[in-house]
Structure formats: C-alpha cells, structure tokens
Structure 1
Amino acid sequence: MGDFDILTSDQTDMLRQFQEVTNIQDEQMALATLVSLNWDLPRAIEAQLCNDNNIGRMEIDDSLIIEHHNQDTRRAVITELENQSRNNSMENDSEDPDFSFGRMLAGGSLEESNSNQSSPHDNDSKTMESSPSIEKRRVLLTTLSSGSGSSSRVMRSHSRPTEQSQHNVSSAAAVRSFLIDAENSDSTDNDGNDVDDDDVYHDGAPFGQLNEEDGKPSFHDDRVPLVPSDFTSIDEALHNFVAVFEARYGANHPPFYSGSLQDALREALEAPGRPVAERRPLAVYLHNDHAIACNIFAKNVLCSGLVSSLLKGQFITWPWDITQKENRLKLFEWIDMLNVRDIRRTLEKFSVERFPLLVVIIKEKSVILPINVAWGCDGPEQVVNKLMEGLEEYQRIKNAEAAEERERIEREKIREEQAREYEQSLAQDRARQERLEREKNEQKAEEERRAKEEQDKTKRLQELAASLPMEPAAGETNIAIVRVRFPDGNMQLRRFRMSEPLRNIAVFVESKGYSLDTHRIWTSDVPMKNVVESYDLNRSLADIKWPVREQITVDEK
C-alpha cells in the first residue's frame, strides 16, 4: 500500500479491519468513510453494515476524479478531510454531513459548503471565486494499482445512516469448521484462493496469548465491563453480565444460565433426574469488547427474535466476557478443570477479530466437544443455521443414545427375568429337596415308630404268653378244649383247665396279637355272645359252665 504511507500504523490497521468486516474492496471508499466519521471504526462499521442493503450507490461524476500528482497534495487533502470531519461533528444537526462530504470529494472546502448552504443567492459568485481553489485542490482520492494508471471511482450514498437501521451482516470470509487443527486455523479461504498468514482473521495475535492489545485501551474502555475482573463469585459475575448486557443491548436476549460452566454443562448435557429427551446442547457466548463486531453481533444477532427464541427453546446459554485478561485466564482454568482441553486449544488460535463467539457444545459417549461456532461476522440467518446444525447433530446423538438406552434396558430386563426365573428354579429345587428330606425323615421316623410299636407289641405278647399257665396235657381230665378262629382265617386249639379263669382265654387271644381294644371274642351260641361283655372274666370256666369243647371267633371291632 505504497500510496497510503501517509497514514499512521493505527489508521492502516483500522482501514484493513474496516474492509475485512464490511467486505468493501474499494480501498478509497473505505478510507473516505473512515475519515468522514473521524476514524471512529465501530461507528463506521455499524453505519456501513446497517445501510448495506438499503443504499442505492451513486457514482460521482468523472469531473470529480482527478489524477494524483504528489504526496504533499494527497496529504493536504486527507488532512482537510479529517479537519472537515471534526468540524462537521461540531456543526448544527440541520447540516447534512453527506452534503459536506460530497463537497470535499469535489474539491470544495468547509467554508464553501457552509456558505452555499447559508447563502443560496450567492452561489454563482461564490463558485466563480472558488474555482481556482477547486482546480488547485482537486486530487485523486482513489488508490492507484501498482503498474497501472487506472483509478477507481468513488461511490457514495446520500442516505444518512442511523443506528436504528435494520442490520444485515455479510460474512467477510467463509466460516471454517470449529474443530480445525492449529495449522489450518491460521489461514482462511478468500475468493477460492489460499492466502498466507496475513489472512483477514489472523493478522492479530491469537486470542489465548498475551499481546499488546491487553495493554492498550479498547474502543469501549469508557464502558462498564460485562464481567469485572475482581468478581468474588460466579453468581455475582453473571448477574453483573446480565445487568450490563441489558443496559447496553436491551432485554430481548436469550436467558443466560446463572451458574458455573460446570453446572451449565451438567444441566444441559445430562439433565439430572430427567429423561434423555430433555437434554439440550450448551451454547457458550463469549463476548470481547476489543472485537470490532461486539456491538453488532450482541444487539442485532444475539438479541434478534429469531436467534433469541431458538436459544431459549432448544439450548442452555452460558455467557462470559473475556475482554479482561483475568477473565480470559479464568475461562481457560475452568475448561482445564472440565478436561475439555480441545476447546481451549482451538480457542487459543482465534484472533480477537473473530469475536464474539457462540460455541455449540455437545456430549457424545461421555466426551464433551464443540460441534459448531458462530463468529462475530455472522448474521442472524447464518447463526440460526449453525445452531440448527448443532441441534440436529445433538438430536442424532440423543436418538442413538436413547436407542442404546432402550437396548440396555431391554437387556437388563432380560437379565432380570432370567435371574428371576433362575431364583424361582432354585427355590423350587430347594423346596423339592426340603420336601424329600422331610418325607425321608418322616418315613424314617414312622418306620422307627412302627418298629418300636412292633417291638413293644412283641414284648407285650411275649409277656402275655408268659403270664398264661402251662397248657395241660391232652390226657388230663377236667379240661376244656377251645378252638379259636382268628380274623386272618387261621385256627388254633388250646386246652384250658376248668379251674382257670375265663380271662386266660382272652389273654391267649391277645397273646396272638389281637388286642381286646380292637377286637371282639364271640362264642358259638345262637345268638353268639361277646365273651368280654357277657361273662365275668375273673370267674373260672367251671363256674360259668363253659362247654368242654367250644369254638370262639375273633373279629375286628
């Protein structure tokens, strides 16, 4: 830029930044706009962007474009333009600064402009008197290309820019993906051609490094900071952020989360106690008052109804101001604590000109990562598109996680069902084993009881048999022969002396295993008589006149 060596380094930087943000290729047009606004860069950007879609550009007549002959003349014109701009700011509001600016481009002076405006009847004479001055001071206000003698034309609108004009930001360069490596983040693509490290977004030092900008005043140093560097708590810092933000840009902003970054991540990406469907991406808004587009983006993009409503309904928005070095380092400290260093390494490569940033953060398979970012040069529609891309990607992740969760729950149900069936089977086996064991024990006890009963019975029978007197011989006299028919059909003869009591016959029957408690003894009389009930068992056979031969029958009661 040999033809602009009369500018200071700060003015050269402002001119370059103004062209980058507004995408004005005509360097002289950019220079004239800055000079007309007294080198107020933010105001010049806002004026240009707010009127970008509404201005009907007008080409100055060829007579207004004069060849440049020497640096002294050029320096004089620029100095006069600067003086004119300063004088215009002190004039009454009824004067149109664009009219004076047109006069300056045409070679006139401030006095001529004012005199023409105040005394219209003297226009002819004033013009004639000033003609030599006009001819002398006409210079080429456009930049000559190296090796070419052609000049560009100066374009200027007569519409006066206002801060209330509708904003429509056009991007200065195609926005790269947020997840780029450090090598690629230092260059961008301009008109399809690769450029070197002097790219529009990378002329300044990276955002994460300490540079001269930290020591020199900002364009907005007279403002109250969104987050003071001496805050005592996160709640205090974010409360101050919201209050100052609303004072600057109004209350039509998305709701800002008032907790720490860690709490915001947990609330957005985990939704504690709520289903997966209620998880939302986290939108981190990083503000920097050193950035050229900080006011434009905050007021016309973040506070636009389209962006604000989308963030309110589908995102958790967490804000932070990194204008102060202390706040910037604090942000990096929190990022390191959350073990998301990829975000820090990426942020450190961004120059201040890229800010403000609206970073969309998601979580996939327990990994927190940035999925998209909106730059300070993006307009509302571009920001909405990027937010929707991040939202759709996170919805895909949530759908996949929900499907995995359903599969996990299904597998868990199957495992629980199998475990329940297994426990039921074990319980049944245990019950069956216990039943068998119990039956076995009962059977054993029954057998032991029966054996004991049998043993007791045998012993008793032996005792009963032993209690009977010896059976008399067959040749003895005065005996009775008794035939006993037992219930099983067996029959047995037994001889008793007539002097023996009738009880001996009953004892003999019992000694054969037929207790009188369960059996009866019948005589052969007709009708038959129950021996126990019909006779006194203590009397002798002779006393009751028992037959010499008798058959008795034993049956069960």
Structure 2
Amino acid sequence: MSENREEILADFQACTGVEDVAEAIFHLEETNWDLLRAVSRVMPPDTQAFHARSDPDVMIVENDQDVPTAVPKPIPADKVTDMMDVGNNIGHSPAKKRDYSSSSRENNFASASTSSGSASTGPKMLTFNIKYCDRVIKIRLPDSANLSDLKQRLSNEVNVAPCRQTLSNWARMQIYEKTPFTKLMLPIENDLILTVKSMSDGAAAENDYPDHELTVRKNQQVQREKRSMPTIVQIDSDEDEFEDASESFNVDDEYFVDNENTTKKQEPLIPENVEDELIGTITFNERFTNRYGPIHPAFYQGTLDEALKDACNKPAKDRKILALYLHHDASVLTNVFCTHLLGFESIMQIIEKNFVLWGWDITFESNRQKFHAALANCLGPTAPLNLRNIPVDKLPAMVLIMKIRSATEVFNVINGNVSVNELLSTLIECVEVFSDHQSVEVKEEAERLEREMVKWEQDQAYRESLEADRAKEEAKQRQEKEERETKKRIENEKAESAAKKEAHRKEVEARLPSEPPAGQGEQTKIRFRLPKGVNIERRFPAESPLQVLLDFLVVQGYPKDEFKVISSWPRRDLTVLDENQTLKDLKLCPQETVILEER
C-alpha cells in the first residue's frame, strides 16, 4: 500500500466515526489494514454514506482572518452553567441546566450508567470525605462521574465556585477534570482536603466563571464527505479498486487525523520533571492504557523501591523477578513493542505469573535522571551504568532484575528490536534460571527453618528446665523463711511467757512469808517430791493458809496451772481446795509429804 498505517487509521476513523484509537486499530488489524474491508466490517454497505451532522462540534472557518476577535460579554455569576453542561455547544440549542441536588444528581448518573452500560448492574457509588475549614463534607457520586461533577456538588455545599477550588490528596492534572472515576480506579472511600484560591489568584467573589478551551480548525469532515463519499458508496472489496480509491483519501492529510486523538497520542506517558515517583507510575499506567489499549500486563503501582521489595525482598518461595520497562516516545520500535509484544498472550501470561512489571518513561532527560537515581538508591551506584548508554533506536528496553541468595543484580537487558519469539524465549530462560536457584534456596530455607525450629525447641526445653529449677528454689526458700519465722514466733512467745512467769514469780516471792525458825510456835514440816526425783523441805506455821504453800511452789518454778500438788494420805489434789484453809485444818501437820505432777 502507498499509505502508511497512520494515514489508514485516520481515514478509517473519519469514515466510520470510531473515536477510540484502540478499537479502530483492532478492526484494521482484523482486516490486515485493508481500509475498505475494515469500513465494511463496521458499517454495512447500505449505510456507507456521509450525512450532514445536525450538531457539528466544530466551527467552520474558511479563513483565519474571519475568526471573530470580540471578547464575549461575561455571564452573570448566577447564570453560570456547569462546565460539564457547556461543552462545545456551537450550533446547539441551549442545554437545560442540571439539577445538582443530592437525590436528582445521583439518579441522573445512575440512569445514565444503566442506559450506557450493563442493564443488570448499577453504578458503583463512591464516597468523598472532604475536609474544609473545621468541617467534613461527605459527598457520594457514582463512578461514572468525574472531578468536575465533584467540584460542582462541592460548590453547592460551601458556596465556592469550582474555578476557585483546589483539592489536595489528588493528582492535579488537567486530564483528570473530565476523566470518569471508573478510569481512575478510585477506592470506595476517598479523603480529600479543599482549599480556596485567594482573590489575588485572579478569581473574584462575584465573577467566578468556568474556563473553556475552544479550538478553531478547518472542517475537514465536510471536505472529507465531498471527496470520499461517492467512492465509499460504490466501491467493492476488490484490492485493485481499493488502491484506486485510496488516492481519493490523500487530500489534506494533515486534517484527516482527528486533532484530539493526535494530541492524546503525543502526550508523554510521564510529564517532564515529575516530582513524585508514585504519581509518575500512576500516570504512566493510565496513559499507557489510554494510548495502547487495556491488553497488556499490569504495571506495578508504586515506587521502584516498593516494587523491588515486593518482588525480591521476600522468602525464596514468594519471590518474583522484577522487570523494568523503559519507554521512549522517540523510538520507532515503541508502538510495535507496546501493542504486539506486550499484548501477546503468552508474554502476558508469563509476566503475570513470574514477574513484577514496573514501567517508566525516559523520553525526557529529567525523568531519565530520576530513574537512574532511584535505581542507584535500590541496587547501588554501579547498577545504572549499563543502562545509561542504551541508544534510542534500541528502546524501549526491559531490564530483568532477580535476587539470587543475598545478591540482587541485573540479570539481562532486552532491547526493543526483538521479535515476539526472541522476547518470549529470553523471558522463559530468565524464569528457568531463576527457578533453578529458587528451588535450591527454598530447600535451604526449609532446612534452615527446621534447624532453627529444633534449636528453638531445645532452647525452650532448657528455659522450661531453668524455670522449674528456679520455681523449686523459690519454694524451698519460701519454706525455710516460713520455718524461721515460725521458730522465731515460738521463741518470742516462749520468751514472753517466761518473762510473764518470772514477773509473776517475783511478785509472789515478794509477798511470800519467810520460813520460821525451828521450834518457834506450832509448825509443820512439808516435804515436796518434785517431778525429777528431787526432794525439798520447808517449815510453815501451822496456821498458814494453803495459799502460802502454793506460793512457795510458784517461787520454786512450779505454778499450780502447770502442776498438781498431791497429798499422800489421804490422796487429794491440794490445788483444787480452798486456798484460805490452813495447813492445820487440812491435816498437813506436824509434817506431810506432797508430790508434784505435771498436768
């Protein structure tokens, strides 16, 4: 064919009205880039005619000098319409203002989602918790809404125009203003912070108007219809006739490619001088999918250091290979590598199963330097040396990094000038090498864990033995302490009792009458037979009461509460008799022998 694929793509989109580049490429590849067959595939033959649109979305300007230069009169603040309602409404009837109340807004989104999507499932509702001053505003929107809808709902809550709202914890890029939340892959709960632009930023309290981007270009669609409509209606799917028909499409080639798609394609995957590595990877994944379609391996959403830890810094059985995809828009190999190689089913399967894929765009030198700095921080200063001098014509590249034992190193660098089979065989070889080392390390780790478990069990048994010995020693010490305390208490009690006895003995001794001299008055002689076989004698006046005899025994250390005093004849216990009776009345005269017995 004389036309290149970009021209065929532009012609196909202009003929069919298919705006999705990925869908257009799919139909062209299914027909081997045969334009006529691709058009017939999408549009039945009886409908292959261009009809004038009743709602053109561009302004037809024949001459740049005809563009009006008058500045439109500002619209009053109370009549400002939401940006989502304005669009490019040249030639349209005025749009009906939307109802942004909570119930009607959510119902509108829900009905729109149901009509355009699956009828069996409704939209997923997202919750936004927005902190503003000292309050938290909770707003629920379906995932078919976008950031502009959120700002408008927020404007109704806080009376701040959308153009003055700045939401932090949000990737602040213009592309996100109209991007549905479904494409942003937001969680169910989102926490944002609202700040309001000051008046010095160019916003006035009473004149906050929405911003609009207007593009003026030639109406290539009309020219397209004039040139190509007769050919499209009458031609057959014959290749010779198609080659003749293709000449009719080579007019004003610069107008055939839709301006929006061209801009989108030229948009870098990562903006220049990106500061946040995490934002860079998220933007890379989103723009890669928008440009090349959803058929590709999943890219890791995180920094290079996080991807390396998730792939390599795990137990051997859970490790994977880290694959770094380095993109460059200036290389002619990029489109083929991204669409054909990364979209190949076998390559996607092996990457999903064995690799952690991390992507980065090194089109801009600033982003290239940021990647090299991140790689040096992860793998050391020598790691980026082999990657600095890869020529642009060999990009994109895929850097394979694996951890073998304790070393994490670059295993291979796959340049972009490879075929599908070469890429697949290189990945398989890398997986085989990694699997061989991984199986050895898994076995070694299992043996090491087993040894550590045995050692731990031995240490545990030793600790339990020590604990048992310690418990025995503590019990022994407690018992000895209790015995000492009991002994001491008994000794104290005995000492106290002895002290009391001694005090009582001295008191009795003090009042005990002295022994009368022999032959002085009527006397009686009492012999005391003590428990240990000792005998003592003492003289008492015959008229002495029994108390005096008992007091004498107390002084000798034999109190009546511990000893019985038994008379020999008649046998009786004197300690139970009346102590005031005299010895004479008790017939203990002129002499008597009494026996002391312990109670």
* TM-score interval, smaller chain: 0.5 to 0.7
SS at match of 1:471: coil
State the one-letter code of the partner of 1:481: K
Aligned to 1:261: 304
SS at match of 2:409: strand
SS at match of 1:386: helix
Q: 1:369 to 1:515 in 2, by over 3 A?
A: farther
Distance 2:451 2:394 in 1: 43
1:328 CA drift (Å): 1.4
Q: 1:503 to 1:393 in 2, by over 3 A?
A: same
Aligned to 2:536: 492
Matches within 5 A, 1:544-555: 544-555=586-597
Q: 1:419 to 1:454 in 2, by over 3 A?
A: same
Aligned to 2:547: 503
Matches within 5 A, 1:106-125: none
Matches within 5 A, 1:130-145: none
Aligned to 2:285: 242
1:235 CA drift (Å): 4.3
Aligned to 1:542: 584
Question: In structure 1, which of residues 360, 365, 375 is the aligned counterpart of residue 400 of structure 2?
Answer: 360
Distance 1:411 1:342 in 2: 40
Matches within 5 A, 1:156-167: none
Aligned to 2:377: 337
State the one-letter code of the partner of 1:227: I
Task: Assess if the C-alpha contact under 8 Å between 1:373 and 1:386 holds in 2.
Answer: no
Q: Which has the larger radius of gyration?
A: 1
Q: 1:303 to 1:450 in 2, by over 3 A?
A: same
1:332 CA drift (Å): 0.5
SS at match of 2:320: coil
Q: 1:310 to 1:222 in 2, by over 3 A?
A: closer
1:458 CA drift (Å): 4.3
Task: Assess if the C-alpha contact under 8 Å between 1:249 and 1:303 holds in 2.
Answer: no
Matches within 5 A, 1:29-40: none
Distance 1:264 1:543 in 2: 119
The superposition leaves residues 262-300 of structure 1 with CA deviations (integer Å, 9 ceiling, x where unpaired) of 2222333346xxx77444332222233444543444334
Aligned to 1:532: 575
Matches within 5 A, 1:305-324: 305-324=345-364
1:236 CA drift (Å): 3.9
1:344 CA drift (Å): 0.6
State the one-letter code of the partner of 1:328: R
Distance 1:364 1:383 in 2: 17
Distance 1:469 1:276 in 2: 106
State the one-letter code of the partner of 2:579: L
State the one-letter code of the partner of 1:509: L
Task: Assess if the C-alpha contact under 8 Å between 2:550 and 2:559 holds in 1.
Answer: no
Distance 1:395 1:340 in 2: 27
Q: 1:420 to 1:430 in 2, by over 3 A?
A: same
Task: Assess if the C-alpha contact under 8 Å between 2:265 and 2:291 holds in 1.
Answer: no
Tell me, yes or no, if structure 1 residue 347 matches structure 2 residue 387.
yes
Task: Assess if the C-alpha contact under 8 Å between 1:503 and 1:537 holds in 2.
Answer: yes
Question: In structure 1, which of residues 373, 389, 398 is the aligned counterpart of residue 433 of structure 2?
Answer: 389
Aligned to 2:342: 302
The superposition leaves residues 399-458 of structure 1 with CA deviations (integer Å, 9 ceiling, x where unpaired) of 544554554565456556545654664565455446545544554554455345445534
SS at match of 1:308: helix
SS at match of 1:480: strand
Question: In structure 1, which of residues 512, 523, 527 is the aligned counterpart of residue 556 of structure 2?
Answer: 512
Distance 1:96 1:414 in 2: 87
1:394 CA drift (Å): 4.1
The superposition leaves residues 150-171 of structure 1 with CA deviations (integer Å, 9 ceiling, x where unpaired) of xxxxxxxxxxxxxxxxxxxxxx
- What TM-score results when the alignment is normalised by the length of structure 1? 0.52
Matches within 5 A, 1:179-328: 223-231=266-274, 233-270=276-313, 277-291=317-331, 293-328=333-368
Q: 1:362 to 1:506 in 2, by over 3 A?
A: farther
Aligned to 2:103: none
**Percent sequence identity over aligned pairs:** 26
SS at match of 1:310: helix
Aligned to 1:64: none
Distance 1:492 1:347 in 2: 122
Distance 2:237 2:271 in 1: 37
- What TM-score results when the alignment is normalised by the length of structure 2? 0.49
Task: Assess if the C-alpha contact under 8 Å between 2:316 and 2:438 holds in 1.
Answer: no
Question: In structure 1, which of residues 370, 380, 390 is the aligned counterpart of residue 424 of structure 2?
Answer: 380
1:556 CA drift (Å): 3.0
Q: 1:381 to 1:485 in 2, by over 3 A?
A: same
Gaps of 5+ in 1: 1-35, 44-49, 51-91, 101-219
State the one-letter code of the partner of 1:262: D
Aligned to 1:189: none
Task: Assess if the C-alpha contact under 8 Å between 1:481 and 1:493 holds in 2.
Answer: yes
State the one-letter code of the partner of 1:253: H
Tell me, yes or no, if structure 1 residue 523 matches structure 2 residue 563.
no
RMSD over equivalenced CA pairs, Å: 4.2
